[in-house]
């Protein structure tokens, strides 16, 4: 047997790739909504996975439901009604009865108009969901349902029934869950299941994964819970495996880019750390710097992302990395997303480099031409050792003499194109990206799977964690007394109001809210001075108000959410967030980050109404429990779901159909290790036994990533 690469050829035309409309019983009428749902071929249909299952192996007679919990019941719709609600929205209510003589109410608040047509009085359905007690009877909100074939269906227990994602267009052509079950059943019966095994044998053995075809059959028609579990695990693994293989091969390609060889910590860097910095690096900062030193000495281009919470000290790490380039005789750049931030960084970097006798230049839009020309000349001649700028830095006109390393701050605010441009600038500098938006590890493995990621997971010493308390209206006096005590000690406080409606900009109602708040506080906190800022003020008015707070003329700053990044008043030790239940977790975390910047103990009061969703309560509890941005974003991701959390949608990566980066993090980790091992051993996927893996990869990799079809 030779180990020659598999020949590159088109996959054999097979029944798997036959278009769905060509199968009897499908036809154009059904094919259209199917295509819209992503099902073009038989292969796609097999991978149209159930959204959920209705476990009919344990059906509970309604009368036996004695306490709240999850149940499956099978019963007849005895009555159906639309109950008008507030805002013109009606809810759908079904009264369901069964042979046990019990009655259960099923309620839908969303989609009631559409759903009411799906349920007929006198018909029998299975309902699965959480039953809660209201008064003397139980009801289920938004249960999963399945229409049973006939009235004797109550007897058909003992099966796990797949429920498929649907929608009006599919329902219209008979493709409700029952329709899908019938279609898939018939297709498998007539055309069989003979998909070549796409996971390498070794991977299957090592991770105890069942055969692909067995899994596909079982995901649609599981015999029991255990079999379904094995099938789902295998298919999730497969999805993650191919996603990670894509990332591993992309990364492998990048690592092959030659990069200038730096020599780690040299004279300038050492002096910066020893003489210029007024503090010791944290352990986390040191670890990240060591990694950067190793990356940049490897001869390959660095492509590293550093994640670190607000205030963890990323800038210093960036500057030290820049100095490693300068030590090796190269120039360094620092790119930031806004002019305000860029000027702030420029002042910092220049302050660090000047004592070392090094030259720093600022490059932003709107500089006078004469000045700009002078700066460009200094960059081109090498006279400027470091350049701090906005994306003006990556313009073609900006020619460095020998750029060795570039820091990209707040990288998520730059587009992919801008980042790619930095990679290709000059002789391809090492690139160090930094982000203050912590991304949970599981998501980072997907979105940034092609980058090296380091975390600064430790705060500088001496910072005291902010004490956070959730208070209801009843304890307002207590909160005000506390604030007063802090003010008496010379500290300052923020009070923040959320936007009333979820919208891009402030409305008059929002301003009113804050204005009323400010008026009440002036009264309650007399004689302390209260200042107000909101988004509808003119910018000079805002600036003046901010200056009065910064300068200590005002003790309390009442604000709408306009106080975002950039406010830095170390003397402020109290943050009061009104209507905290309305804020998202990330925003709460950012707002709270405005205090706790000096050495004094700081406090955060989350004023929240009792009338709030379970999810709001979880958010508020997370805020009380931790000040760690990573933990907070883990919770945020869990509460919101991966699709909603930023990043995944825009990442250009293939959609996950069955796997979930949060819930299936363990499988993700396993699949990632397996994929990276294969990619390292066989980057061309051309070893014997990998033929089907290679074919599947070639067929599914997004074309935009430039992997030629290899199948
Ligand atoms: P971020 O990670 O949010 O960009 P910065 O780099 O702006 O954080 O650092 C926040 C503050 O902490 C700065 O004032 C910086 O000088 C200070 N700092 C950074 N590292 C340390 C350290 N190891 N010890 C003490 N203070 C530090
Ligand atoms: Mg920063």
pLDDT higher than threshold 80 for residue 702: no
Long-range contacts, 610-615 (Cβ 8 Å, 24+): 610/472, 612/581, 613/581, 615/639
Measured from the Cβ of residue 188, the count of other Cβ atoms closer than 10 Å reads 18
Q: Which of 555, 593, 550 is nearest to 575 (CA)?
A: 593
Ligand 2 centroid – CA 453 distance (Å): 17
Cα separation of 542 and 216, whole Å? Answer: 61
Nearest CA to ligand 1 atom 18: 313
Ligand 2 centroid – CA 593 distance (Å): 13
pLDDT higher than threshold 80 for residue 230: yes
Question: Phi-psi region for residue 88, left (φ > 0), alpha (ψ -120 to 50) or beta?
Answer: left
- According to DSSP, residue 211 is labeled -
- According to DSSP, residue 221 is labeled S
Where does the pLDDT of residue 654 fall: very low under 50, low under 70, confident under 90, or very high at 90 and above?
low
Q: Which of 411, 412, 439 is nearest to 631 (CA)?
A: 439
β-pair partners for 72 = 128
Q: Which of 252, 251, 237 is nearest to 674 (CA)?
A: 237
Measured from the Cβ of residue 63, the count of other Cβ atoms closer than 10 Å reads 14
Residue 652 is predicted with a pLDDT of: 53
| Structure tokens belonging to residue 318 | 């960036």
**Mean pLDDT to the nearest integer, 78-103:** 88
Q: Kindly report which listed range (303-307, 331-335, 488-492) carries the lowest average pLDDT score.
A: 303-307
Residue 158 is predicted with a pLDDT of: 57
β-pair partners for 71 = 129
Cβ–Cβ < 8 Å for 216, 193: yes
Cβ–Cβ < 8 Å for 24, 133: no
Q: What is the mean pLDDT of the chain?
A: 85
Tell which atom from ligand 1 comes closest to the C-alpha of 312.
2
Cα separation of 439 and 636, whole Å? Answer: 10
Triad 39, 42, 46: Cα angle to 5°: 80
Q: Which of 335, 334, 316 is nearest to 414 (CA)?
A: 335
Cβ < 6 Å from ligand 1: which residues? 279-282, 285, 308, 310-316, 436, 460
Torsion angles phi and psi, residue 431, rounded to 5: -120, 125
Ligand 2 centroid – CA 79 distance (Å): 61
Cβ–Cβ < 8 Å for 575, 558: no
Q: Which of 521, 524, 545, 549 is nearest to 534 (CA)?
A: 545
pLDDT higher than threshold 70 for residue 12: no
Look-up: residue for tokens 């003006």?
Answer: 392
Measured from the Cβ of residue 143, the count of other Cβ atoms closer than 10 Å reads 25
Ligand 2 centroid – CA 474 distance (Å): 38
Where does the pLDDT of residue 514 fall: very low under 50, low under 70, confident under 90, or very high at 90 and above?
confident
Tell which atom from ligand 1 comes closest to the C-alpha of 318.
6
Residue 149 is predicted with a pLDDT of: 63
| Structure tokens belonging to residue 11 | 């996959």
pLDDT higher than threshold 80 for residue 103: yes
CA distances from 279 to 276, 354, 456 (A): 9, 18, 16
Residue 5 is predicted with a pLDDT of: 37
Cβ–Cβ < 8 Å for 494, 575: yes
Cβ–Cβ < 8 Å for 180, 190: no
pLDDT higher than threshold 80 for residue 189: yes
Ligand 1 centroid – CA 349 distance (Å): 13
Cα separation of 177 and 52, whole Å? Answer: 10
Torsion angles phi and psi, residue 675, rounded to 5: -65, -45
Ligand 1 centroid – CA 313 distance (Å): 3
Helices and strands: H and E segment counts in the chain: 23, 21
Which tens digits make up the pLDDT trace of 443-481? 777 767 777 888 898 888 878 889 999 999 999 999 999
Ligand 1 centroid – CA 455 distance (Å): 14
**Mean pLDDT to the nearest integer, 680-694:** 92
More confident residue, 508 or 319: 319
Torsion angles phi and psi, residue 454, rounded to 5: -120, 155
Tell which atom from ligand 1 comes closest to the C-alpha of 409.
4
β-pair partners for 83 = 91
- Taking the CA atoms of the chain, what radius of gyration do you get in angstroms? 30
Ligand nearest to the CA of 411: 2
Nearest CA to ligand 1 atom 5: 313
Tell which atom from ligand 1 comes closest to the C-alpha of 308.
2
Cis peptide before 527 (omega within 30 of 0): yes
Q: Which of 195, 234, 164 is nearest to 41 (CA)?
A: 195
Percentage of the chain beyond pLDDT 70 is 89
- According to DSSP, residue 290 is labeled H
Q: Which residues, 6 or more positions from 419, have their beta carbon under 8 angstroms from its beta carbon?
A: 408, 411, 431, 433
Tell which atom from ligand 1 comes closest to the C-alpha of 348.
16
Cβ–Cβ < 8 Å for 443, 637: yes
pLDDT higher than threshold 60 for residue 352: yes
Nearest CA to ligand 1 atom 15: 313
Nearest CA to ligand 1 atom 23: 281
Ligand 1 centroid – CA 238 distance (Å): 42
Cα separation of 635 and 589, whole Å? Answer: 12
Nearest CA to ligand 1 atom 20: 313
Cα separation of 246 and 672, whole Å? Answer: 10
Ligand 1 centroid – CA 297 distance (Å): 26
Cα separation of 548 and 357, whole Å? Answer: 37
Q: Kindly report which listed range (116-130, 165-179, 491-505, 613-627) carries the lowest average pLDDT score.
A: 491-505
Where does the pLDDT of residue 502 fall: very low under 50, low under 70, confident under 90, or very high at 90 and above?
low
**Mean pLDDT to the nearest integer, 210-230:** 93
Where does the pLDDT of residue 195 fall: very low under 50, low under 70, confident under 90, or very high at 90 and above?
confident
Residue 647 is predicted with a pLDDT of: 42
Residue 8 is predicted with a pLDDT of: 34
Torsion angles phi and psi, residue 272, rounded to 5: -60, -50
Cα separation of 179 and 26, whole Å? Answer: 11
Residue 644 is predicted with a pLDDT of: 53
Q: Which of 580, 585, 553, 584 is nearest to 569 (CA)?
A: 553
Most ligand 1 atoms within 8 A of CB, residue of 280, 311, 407, 456 to mutate: 311
Q: Which of 92-96, 106-110, 128-132, 158-162 has the highest mean pLDDT?
A: 92-96
Where does the pLDDT of residue 323 fall: very low under 50, low under 70, confident under 90, or very high at 90 and above?
very high
| Structure tokens belonging to residue 635 | 């919770």
The beta-strand segments (E) located in 446-596 are: 452-456, 467-471, 492-496, 530-533, 556-559, 572-577
Q: What is the dihedral of CA 388, 394, 399, 403, to 10 degrees?
A: 60
């Amino acid at each position: 047997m030779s180990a020659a690469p598999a020949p590159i050829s088109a996959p054999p035309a097979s029944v798997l790739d036959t278009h769905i409309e060509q199968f009897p019983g499908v036809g154009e009428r059904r094919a259209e909504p199917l295509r819209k749902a992503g099902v073009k071929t038989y292969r796609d249909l097999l991978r149209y996975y159930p959204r959920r299952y209705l476990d009919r192996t344990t059906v509970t007679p309604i009368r036996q439901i004695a306490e709240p919990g999850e149940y499956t019941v099978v019963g007849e719709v005895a009555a159906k009604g639309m109950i008008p609600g507030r805002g013109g929205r009606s809810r759908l209510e079904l009264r369901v009865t069964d042979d046990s003589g019990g009655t259960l109410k099923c309620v839908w608040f969303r989609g009631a108009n559409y759903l009411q047509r799906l349920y007929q009085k006198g018909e029998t359905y299975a309902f699965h969901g959480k039953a809660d007690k209201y008064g003397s009877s139980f009801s289920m909100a938004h249960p999963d349902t399945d229409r049973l074939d006939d009235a004797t269906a109550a007897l058909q227990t003992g099966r796990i029934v797949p429920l498929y994602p649907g929608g009006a267009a599919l329902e219209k052509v008979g493709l409700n869950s029952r329709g899908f079950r019938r279609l898939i059943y018939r297709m498998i019966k007539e055309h069989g299941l003979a998909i070549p095994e796409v996971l390498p044998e070794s991977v299957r053995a090592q991770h105890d994964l069942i055969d692909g075809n067995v899994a596909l059959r079982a995901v649609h028609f599981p015999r029991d819970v255990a079999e379904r579990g094995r099938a789902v695990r295998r298919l999730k693994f497969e999805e993650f495996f191919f996603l990670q293989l894509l990332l591993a091969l992309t990364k492998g390609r990048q690592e092959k880019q030659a990069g200038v060889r730096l020599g780690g910590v040299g004279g300038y860097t050492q002096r910066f750390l020893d003489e210029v910095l007024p503090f010791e690096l944290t352990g986390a900062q040191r670890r990240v710097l060591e990694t950067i030193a190793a990356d940049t000495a490897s001869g390959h281009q660095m492509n590293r992302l550093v994640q670190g919470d607000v205030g963890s000290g990323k800038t210093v790490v960036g500057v030290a990395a820049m100095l490693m380039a300068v030590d090796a005789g190269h120039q360094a750049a620092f790119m930031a997303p806004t002019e305000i931030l860029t000027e702030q960084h420029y002042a910092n970097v220049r302050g660090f480099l000047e004592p070392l006798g090094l030259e720093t230049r600022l490059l932003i839009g709107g500089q006078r031409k004469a000045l700009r020309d002078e700066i460009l000349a200094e960059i081109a001649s090498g006279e400027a050792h470091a350049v701090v700028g906005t994306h003006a830095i990556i313009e073609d006109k900006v020619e460095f003499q020998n750029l060795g390393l570039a820091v990209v701050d707040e990288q998520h605010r730059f587009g992919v194109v801008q980042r790619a441009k930095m990679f290709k600038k000059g002789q391809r500098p090492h690139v160090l990206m930094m982000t203050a938006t912590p991304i949970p590890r599981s998501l980072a493995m997907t979105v940034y799977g092609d980058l090296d990621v380091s975390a600064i997971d430790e705060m500088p010493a001496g910072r005291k964690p902010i004490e956070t308390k959730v208070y209801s209206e009843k304890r307002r006096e207590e909160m005000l007394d506390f604030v007063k005590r802090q003010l008496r000690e010379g500290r300052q406080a923020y009070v923040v109001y959320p936007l009333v409606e979820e919208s891009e900009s402030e409305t008059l109602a929002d301003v009113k809210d804050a204005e009323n708040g400010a008026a009440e506080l002036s009264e309650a906190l007399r004689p302390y001075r209260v200042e107000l800022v909101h988004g509808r003020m003119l910018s000079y008015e805002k600036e003046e108000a901010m200056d009065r707070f910064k300068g200590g003329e005002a003790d309390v700053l009442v604000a709408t959410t306009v106080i975002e990044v950039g406010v830095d008043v170390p003397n402020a030790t109290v943050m009061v967030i009104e209507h905290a239940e309305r804020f998202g977790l990330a925003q709460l975390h950012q707002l709270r980050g405005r205090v706790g910047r000096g050495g004094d103990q700081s406090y955060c009061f989350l004023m929240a109404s009792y009338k709030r969703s379970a999810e709001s309560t979880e958010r508020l509890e997370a805020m009380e429990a931790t000040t760690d941005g990573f933990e907070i974003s883990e919770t945020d991701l869990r509460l919101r779901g991966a699709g909603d959390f930023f990043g995944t949608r825009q990442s250009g990566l293939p959609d996950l159909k069955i796997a979930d980066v949060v819930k299936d993090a363990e499988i993700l980790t396993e699949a990632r290790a397996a994929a990276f091992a294969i990619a390292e051993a066989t980057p061309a996927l051309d070893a014997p036994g990998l033929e089907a893996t290679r074919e599947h990869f070639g067929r599914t990799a997004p074309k935009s990533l430039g992997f030629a079809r290899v199948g």
